Amino acid sequence: MKTTLPQTIATIVVFLTGLLLSESPALADDLAVLKANASKGDAPAQTILGSIYSNGRDDVDRDEKEGLKWARLAANQGYAPAHWLMGDLYAEGIGVEKDEKEAVKWYRKAADQGLAVTQYNLGVCYLAGQGVGQDEAKAAQWFRKAADQEHATAQSNLGFCFLNGQGVGKDEVEAVKWFRKAAKNGSEQAQLNLAICHFNGLGLGKDMVLAHAWASLAEDGEEEVANHARELRSQLESAMSAAQIVDSAKLIKELMAETDPYSAPMKSQDRESSSPATPSRAGDAAGQAVKMVKSLEFDDGGTGVDASLIRGKMLIREGGPFSDDMIEIDIKRIQSTGLTQELDIRAQDVAGGVNVTVKVIGSGDISDIDFMGNTVMSNEDLQKKIEVKAGDPVDDTKLAAAQRKIADAYEKRGCSDVLVSYNIVPSELGGLSIVIFQIDEGALTHDIRFEGNTAISSNRLRGMVKTREQGKISNEDLQTDIKLIERAFQDEGYTYAKVTEFRREPVSAKEADIVYVIDEGAKYDVARISLSGNTRFTQDELMKGIRQKAGSSYKSSFIKADEKMIQDYYRSRGYADARVETSIEDDGKNTVKIDYSIEEGGKSTVGQINIDGNVYVTKDIILHELNLAPGDVFNAVLIDKARETLKGKGYFRELGIFGTPTGEPGRKNLDIQVLER
């Protein structure tokens, strides 16, 4: 079962681009048009702009703060995809501190509006206990909501819930039904699940032909799924007759027509009424003479196509059974890899069976070459080291040579323990391929150095960063270090301080120095501080608690403290959804002006208080710490305090306290979910 959140900011960009293209073709691509529309308050434009800045694009530098700004503006309009984006920003820690609970809150906002992907995300969160207390029943409920909207992975996960009795009653027939729906919607994991069910006789009885057909389809999935499916198919074929394998090929052809995204989609009523049982079949090959493959030959026309890659995609095997259905299936599956430009499979009758010839011309285009895991050398440097380039044919011999050249280049830099591998993946551009070189540099940190720093000593900076001497070098830690360094300088008044570069300089085969290059910029004072958007409370009330003072040096930690103070002032008085957005603008030489823009939201009181998951800890103990009752002002700060107090008592392994809309304006229920130790 999928128990991780697969969506990324890039996924949201793709989703929203498709959405915006349907509304206005000019809007999705043109950054100037996007900004113009976003500035006018257009929520879809704001959301896709937030996605682009959060992720970066070929023509747009990544700017997490700018991405967060646009995402929040759209989210404040109640736009469901923007709520999804905000959830992912918090889940991944992009532009904000990573906060799984806050991610769940935003996912819930979108899910309540019916966005299937966030309903699925909530199911994952409840199943894994990410940001909420683990609750299999609630996980199943959210999976069902998404599954009812044809979300394939949610359908597959719901099938798992029924198969294992997680959050629902165990029901193998119901499990197969949901696997079947997910498989028809293109989920290779569900196709593998069906193969396993039919192999083991779960739900609808043991059926080797069906198991073989679904396992064959699942081989087009991700590596783990494909490998498992391949092993299962091999195991099945060793026990199946030639006639059964031929029957399976006919069935695969029927199933491919259902699952192929380029085929005409089924009408929703057809999909809902279809039985979880298989397409009709009656052992067509049984009792008939089955042709066997006497030889299987490949002709690549000198284009260097790896025959083993092609063979791995084929049902036709030398010494195995043959049918015309197999040719049709194999052609379609080989073409889907993007490795071929021309393909022809022909069978010639000979004594005792057929000889099969596969004629293939490799795809003439590598659309892109990418490098992952590299810190010692840039992508540009690595590209110069290899002879393969975009536009070349996919040629495993040349790619293997490029792999060796990358390893040699690292060895010359003193990194002798580097590991280099490559993958070929189909491009979104039909018929093309992307080559990805994965590099494991393998070195430990020898020393951590800083260049350009005068305001903060190197020793002090060294104590701040996550990267440690003699520790493994991690790209994730390096990115975190950059944020920590920039915040440290910004806290000393250097408002626009940036880490402009980091270098990895090998000192031996096993060790490398990490060098951070810092542009401190000028030191700034704060000229003016203002508040905007506040209608419920006066300037004087709110300004009393402001730590950042006009006339003093800019201090980023004070800015964060002020944002929290203002937000908590509102949240303690019933405005649980209040938000503060800070803008910082130049206001003269080495001075800035700061505006705290407040989105107040509505005032709420407490509705019902629901406690779930407690067995030994009584509700009275929980309610005593909460110190709130139905009808009270919804004091979110008091709720935060109760949450921390209850966590500190050690009663619970997991604890979640959430405000849930009731449908009645100005009223929120308190849902408390616990998992006891």
Burial 546-555 (b: 16+ CB within 10 A, else e): bebeeeebbb
The CA-based angle 309-313-318, given to 5 degrees, is 90
Token couple for 407: 């390893």
For the chain, what is the domain count? 7
Q: What is the pLDDT of residue 491?
A: 93
Q: Which CATH number do you get for residue 157?
A: 1.25.40.10
Token couple for 458: 């190197």
Are both 469 and 413 inside the same structural domain? no
* Gap between the terminal Cα atoms of the chain: 25
Are both 431 and 558 inside the same structural domain? no
Q: How far apart are CA 483 and CA 470, in angstroms?
A: 22
Q: How far apart are CA 42 and CA 642, in angstroms?
A: 39
How many other C-beta atoms lie within 10 A of the C-beta of residue 203?
Answer: 22
Domain containing residue 335:
291-362
Q: How far apart are CA 417 and CA 444, in angstroms?
A: 11
357-360 contact pairs (CB < 8 A, 24+): 357/297, 357/298, 357/299, 358/296, 358/297, 358/298, 358/299, 358/310, 358/314, 359/299, 359/301, 360/298, 360/299, 360/300, 360/301, 360/303, 360/305, 360/310, 360/334
Q: What is the pLDDT of residue 267?
A: 29
Q: Cβ distance 3 to 128 under 8 Å?
A: yes
Are both 100 and 186 inside the same structural domain? no
Backbone dihedral angles phi then psi of residue 350, each to the nearest 5 degrees = -135, 170
DSSP secondary structure code for residue 278 in this structure: P
Q: Where are the alpha helices (DSSP H) in 93-241?
A: 100-112, 116-128, 136-147, 152-164, 172-184, 188-200, 208-218, 223-237
Q: How far apart are CA 584 and CA 555, in angstroms?
A: 12
Q: How far apart are CA 392 and CA 367, in angstroms?
A: 9
CA-wise closest residue to 193 among 231, 228, 143, 149: 228
Are both 73 and 163 inside the same structural domain? no
Token couple for 509: 């085969």
DSSP secondary structure code for residue 408 in this structure: H
Token couple for 24: 């206005």
Q: For the CA atoms of the chain, what is the radius of gyration? A: 30
Token couple for 647: 């966590």
Token couple for 520: 């401190």
Among residues 84, 108, 133, which one ends one of the domains? 133
* Tens-digit pLDDT profile for residues 490-541: 999 999 999 988 887 777 766 778 899 999 999 999 999 999 999 999 999 9
- Distance of alpha carbon 366 from its chain centroid, rounded? 25
Q: What is the pLDDT of residue 4?
A: 52
Token couple for 280: 């009709």
Are both 140 and 267 inside the same structural domain? yes
Q: How far apart are CA 74 and CA 579, in angstroms?
A: 13
Are both 281 and 202 inside the same structural domain? yes
Q: How far apart are CA 491 and CA 66, in angstroms?
A: 20
- Reported as type and span, the H/E element at residue 660 is strand 652-661
Q: How far apart are CA 522 and CA 508, in angstroms?
A: 37
Q: What is the pLDDT of residue 263?
A: 36
**350 bridge partner residues:** 353
Are both 141 and 281 inside the same structural domain? yes
Q: What is the pLDDT of residue 550?
A: 93
Q: Cβ distance 123 to 178 under 8 Å?
A: no
DSSP string covering 193-212, please?
Answer: HHHHHHHHT-SS---HHHHH
Q: Which CATH number do you get for residue 315?
A: 3.10.20.310
Among residues 89, 111, 133, which one ends one of the domains? 133
Count of H-run helices and E-run strands, the chain: 26, 16
pTM for this entry: 0.50
Q: How far apart are CA 619 and CA 563, in angstroms?
A: 34
Are both 496 and 542 inside the same structural domain? no
Q: How far apart are CA 470 and CA 513, in angstroms?
A: 10
Are both 216 and 260 inside the same structural domain? yes
Which is it for strands 605-612 and 652-661: parallel, antiparallel or unpaired? unpaired
Q: How far apart are CA 298 and CA 355, in angstroms?
A: 11
Low-confidence ranges of the chain (pLDDT < 50): 6-10, 13-14, 18, 20-28, 260-283
Q: What is the pLDDT of residue 109?
A: 92
- Residue 517 CA neighbour count, 13 Å, CB half: 6
- Reported as type and span, the H/E element at residue 242 is helix 242-259
What percent of the chain is helix, strand and coil (3-state, nearest 5)?
A: 45, 20, 35
DSSP secondary structure code for residue 191 in this structure: H
Q: Cβ distance 659 to 667 under 8 Å?
A: no
* Tens-digit pLDDT profile for residues 57-77: 666 778 888 899 999 999 998
Q: How far apart are CA 139 and CA 605, in angstroms?
A: 28
Among residues 599, 631, 654, which one ends one of the domains? 599
Q: Where are the alpha helices (DSSP H) in 296-344?
A: 307-312, 324-335
Are both 266 and 331 inside the same structural domain? no
Q: Where are the alpha helices (DSSP H) in 321-451?
A: 324-335, 379-385, 396-412
Q: What is the pLDDT of residue 558?
A: 94
Which residue type is seen at 584? I
CA-wise closest residue to 583 among 611, 612, 562, 613: 562
Q: How far apart are CA 242 and CA 62, in angstroms?
A: 56
Are both 148 and 29 inside the same structural domain? no
Are both 535 and 617 inside the same structural domain? no
CA-wise closest residue to 212 among 56, 320, 125, 135: 320
- Three-class SS state of 610: strand
DSSP secondary structure code for residue 279 in this structure: P
